[in-house]
């Protein structure tokens, strides 16, 4: 039985994370230091603050990942780190640390695409899941509908033309004065609201398009709130949140199902921070059951940014013969 250990490192945004993963699927450790409390008071991630915090903590986080996995750096077979997309200063911290570590210990190194990493979280959660499958990747920075043809072969069917789904959640939450990050807060208060209270617009775009657009919906919510304020009408935040969430979820789920039908695929997966959304999981679960697709999603800890998913993605790409050299740079706008 193969025993291949990958050390993953992730610093693309505001989580400093390191993980040790066995054979691409078994997590021996997954240390996540979230900076969310630091950025909260600014209402969003401040890039320079994020980079500086990563620099302060990266070394301790990597040591902790090795220690809690009960391994030494010498036991590691591959070092994998996110090289994009993300905040350039933040990316550079984890990437440089990983390259330095690989160089000094003479280990192979591989750069990982953060979006592919999110998809691979599903391999950790679902040991039987293998390509091909369809994956809806929804996070603070990305909204992609991806046909995962093989471990290192991804075909993008559609993506957002403006705001990412998570970004829309965060902006609407800010307008409702809920706090940051907004997604989980909208999810929570929506449970107390009527999702049919307000009929916000859903953008399906052109017929058969798998692209998304959330800026119109976001503006519609902001306009609604302004109008109510001007008229002196007190809104019920729970109803606004639930109605907004329904509009996002229905478009995401409908397009995912259309794509699954078109590809005649059996397996449908969800990934990224917004994959933690309870309403989205429920809707996709319902539709997948109705149309006979298997439905997969990672547990909450693997939905948000973490290094275990990066290690998994690095492992599978390496096994396909890919490897990066130590001159690899960070790419803030890296595509799949
Ligand atoms: O994947 P992630 O941790 O970071 C990026 O790569 O962007 O995703 C963070 C995003 C944020 O926009 C956050 O509000 C959203 O995921 N999010 C949620 C939920 N939990 C996190 N959005 C909706 N419902 C949730 N339960
Ligand atoms: Zn992410």
- Rounded CA separation 141/137 (Å): 10
What residues form DSSP beta bridges with 138?
A: 143
CB of 272 shorter than 6 A to ligand 1: yes
* Protein residue whose Cα sits closest to atom 7 of ligand 1: 140
Output helix, strand, coil percentages for the chain, rounded to the nearest 5: 45, 20, 35
Mean pLDDT, the chain, whole residue set: 97
Mean pLDDT of 97-114: 98
pLDDT attached to residue 300: 97
Residue 63 assigned ligand-binding role: no
State which ligand 1 atom lies nearest to the alpha carbon of 276: 26
Look at ligand 1, atom 11, and give the residue with the nearest C-alpha: 140
CATH 3.30.420.40 holds for 5-121+303-319: yes
Residues 162-183 have pLDDT tens digits of 999 999 999 999 999 999 889 9
Q: Specify the ligand 1 atom closest to the Cα of 272.
A: 1
10: nearest Cα among 128, 114, 87: 114
Work out the pLDDT band at 112, boundaries 50, 70, 90: very high
What DSSP state is assigned to residue 329? P
Q: Is 156 helix (H, G, I), strand (E, B) or coil?
A: strand
Which pTM was predicted?
0.97
Query: Could you say which DSSP state residue 75 is in?
Result: G
Tokens of 39: 């950025």
pLDDT in tens, 63-94: 999 999 999 999 999 999 999 999 999 999 99
Query: Tell me: domain 131-298, CATH 3.40.50.2300, correct?
Result: no
The first and second tokens of residue 191, run together, are 């449970």
Q: How many CB atoms neighbour CB 26 within 10 A?
A: 13
pLDDT attached to residue 64? 98
- Whether residue 23 has pLDDT greater than 80: yes
* Nearest ligand by distance to the CA of 167: 1
| 248 known ligand binder | no
Out of 13, 36, 176, 274, give the residue to mutate to test ligand 1, the one with the largest number of ligand atoms within 8 Å of its CB. 274
Order of all β-strands in the sheet with 26-34: 26-34, 15-22, 5-10, 78-84, 109-113
What is Dmax (Cα atoms) for the chain?
69
Two tokens at 104?
Answer: 């000094």
193 C-beta closer than 6 A to ligand 1: no
The mean pLDDT value for 315-334 works out to 97
Is the confidence at residue 207, as pLDDT, over 90?
no
- Phi/psi at 125 (5° precision): -70, -40
CATH 3.30.420.40 residue ranges of the chain are: 5-121+303-319, 131-298
Cα(10) to centroid(ligand 2), Å: 10
């Amino acid at each position: 039985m193969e025993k291949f250990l990958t050390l993953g490192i992730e610093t693309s945004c505001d989580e400093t994370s390191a993980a040790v993963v066995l054979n691409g699927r078994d997590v021996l450790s997954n240390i996540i230091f979230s900076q969310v409390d630091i950025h909260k008071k600014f209402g969003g991630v401040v890039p320079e603050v994020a980079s500086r915090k990563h620099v302060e903590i990266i070394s301790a986080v990597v040591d902790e990942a090795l220690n809690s996995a009960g391994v030494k750096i010498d036991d590691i077979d591959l070092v994998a780190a996110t090289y994009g997309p993300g905040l350039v200063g933040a990316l550079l911290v984890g990437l440089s640390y990983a390259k330095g570590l690989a160089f000094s210990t003479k280990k192979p190194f591989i750069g990982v695409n953060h979006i592919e990493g999110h998809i691979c979280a599903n391999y950790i959660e679902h040991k039987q899941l293998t390509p091909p499958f369809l994956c809806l990747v929804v996070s603070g920075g990305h909204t992609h509908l991806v046909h995962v043809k093989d471990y290192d072969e991804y075909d993008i069917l559609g993506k957002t033309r403006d705001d990412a789904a998570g970004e829309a959640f965060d902006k609407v939450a800010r307008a409702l004065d809920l706090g940051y990050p907004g997604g989980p807060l909208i999810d929570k208060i929506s449970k107390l609201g009527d999702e049919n209270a307000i009929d916000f617009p859903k953008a399906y775009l052109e017929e058969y398009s798998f692209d998304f657009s959330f800026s119109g919906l976001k503006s519609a919510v902001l306009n609604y709130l302004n109008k109510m304020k001007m008229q002196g009408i007190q809104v019920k935040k729970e109803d606004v949140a639930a109605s907004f969430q329904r509009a996002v979820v229905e478009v995401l789920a409908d397009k995912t199902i259309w794509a699954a039908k078109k590809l005649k695929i059996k397996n449908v997966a969800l990934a990224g921070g917004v994959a933690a959304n309870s309403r989205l999981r429920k809707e996709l679960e319902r539709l997948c059951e109705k149309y006979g697709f298997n439905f997969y999603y990672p547990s909450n800890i693997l939905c948000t940014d973490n290094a275990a998913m990066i290690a998994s993605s690095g492992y599978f790409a390496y096994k396909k013969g890919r490897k990066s050299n130590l001159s690899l740079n960070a790419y803030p706008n890296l595509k799949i």
